[in-house]
Amino acid sequence: MRRTVFNEDHEAFRETLRAFIEAEVVPVFDDWFQAGIVPREFYYKLAELGVFGINVDEEYGGAGLETHKFEAIQYEETARAGVNFGGSGVHVLLALPYIKMLATEDQKKRWLPKFVSAEEMWAIAMTEPGTGSDLAGMKTTAKLSEDGTHYVLNGAKTFITGGVHADRVIVCARTAPATPEDRRHGISLFAVDTKSEGYSIGRKLDKLGLRTSDTAELAFVDVKVPAEDLMGEENKGFYYLGKNLASERWGIAFGAYAQAKAAVEFAKKYTQDRTVFGQPVAAFQNTKFELAACKAEVDAAEAVADRALEALDAGELTAAEAASAKLFCTEVAHRVIDRCLQLHGGYGYMNEYPIARLYADNRVNRIYGGTSEIMKTIIAKDMGL
């Protein structure tokens, strides 16, 4: 089916990005994979390419657009090349919507130019060792000082993408106890400078997949956060999280669909090249049926991912629609990538083949940004169940 989401500008960006990935990422990606992290300097190259400023107003150094289509192309092109940009995805996909929604003029002036130039990389810290799906149960606290100049932050976070390289982290913390009527009351968001005294990075976590992404534990011991780094209003954090989770979930849905699409191409090529019993693996009817079935699933996921993208750009993607897109696209990707790996035989299990990395990378899509089970609870609630 003809796709209608991308115009000539988007396709020109795709060409530029494809050439950039070929030149700057493919030759060094194995080194990043072995090191388990993308070098910090690489983010300056992404900044030069302009990818951090697409949705930032021109007065702060950005391109002044309002669209997620260029991010979508990044998902497709990195998956196609069998690479990724490490933990930098959270900088734009997760952090920027909060800055745009909540930052005052003064905060925008302080934060956005450095955001665009990669001088300050951002991450977001919601999850804690004791609570992930149930965010209202978070224990990290931020107490306003008596003179009102700063908050004192104490607690711990875990699984924070970009946590090693981040220069500023949006930390969710309790500024007031939950009320009996509303467990979600009392959470606030802070843009914490990671150089602050008392802020420390714990382990860089050793993961099944997304090996180049710097996922870390964070700890805060009496960290002084200036009052001017509070984002939005005190105690309204949960409301803000609810507003932005739809775009995060769209990103995961689109990324998963792009991985599934790439997996089919990898499997098609591999099975055409590989000879077994005197014929290419692609010549077996089973291979054709498997690839055809995978292609049909990918086409359906593409339609959902594209439609969710249009709705997101129009400001219309609801929480339930985003949950539905995430659930569908990530479950499709799970099935498709597994079947495509099977068609590679033993080589599919080797990390030197992109399908093996995709298989491991994709697994987390059904977990982070809210698990598939949580997506189902959101959809069911929207159905009035």
- The residues of the shown chain that bind ligand FAD, judged by CB under 6 A, are 90, 123-127, 132-133, 159-161, 207, 210, 215, 364, 367-371, 373-374, 377
- Least Å from the CB of residue 103 to ligand FAD: 19
- Minimum CB distance to ligand FAD smaller for 55 or for 362: 362
CB of 38 to ligand FAD, least distance (A): 15
Nearer to ligand FAD, 374 or 379 (CB): 374
- At its nearest, how many Å lie between ligand FAD and the CB of residue 374? 6
286, with CB counted inside 10 A (0-12, 13-18, 19+), is exposed
Contacts for 66-72: CB closer than 8 Å, 24+ residues apart:
66/313, 67/313, 68/247, 68/250, 68/251, 68/309, 68/312, 68/313, 69/5, 69/6, 69/10, 69/309, 69/313, 70/10, 70/13, 71/251, 71/254, 72/5, 72/254, 72/258, 72/305, 72/309
Cα-flanking dihedrals φ and ψ of residue 235, to 5°? 70, 0
Nearer to ligand FAD, 159 or 254 (CB): 159
The sign one gets for the Cα dihedral 273, 278, 283, 284 is: negative
Query: Which is it for strands 150-161 and 215-226: parallel, antiparallel or unpaired?
Result: antiparallel
Q: Which residue is nearest to ligand FAD (CB)?
A: 132
Whole-number minimum distance, CB 130 to ligand FAD, in Å? 8
- Could you tell me the CA-to-CA distances from 279 to 26, 272, 284, 337, 385 in Å, in that order? 31, 9, 8, 24, 53
For ligand FAD, the closer of residues 88 and 127 by Cβ is: 127
Quote the least distance from Cβ 147 to ligand FAD, whole Å: 31
- Comparing CB distances to ligand FAD, the nearer of 13 and 159 is 159
Active site residues: 248
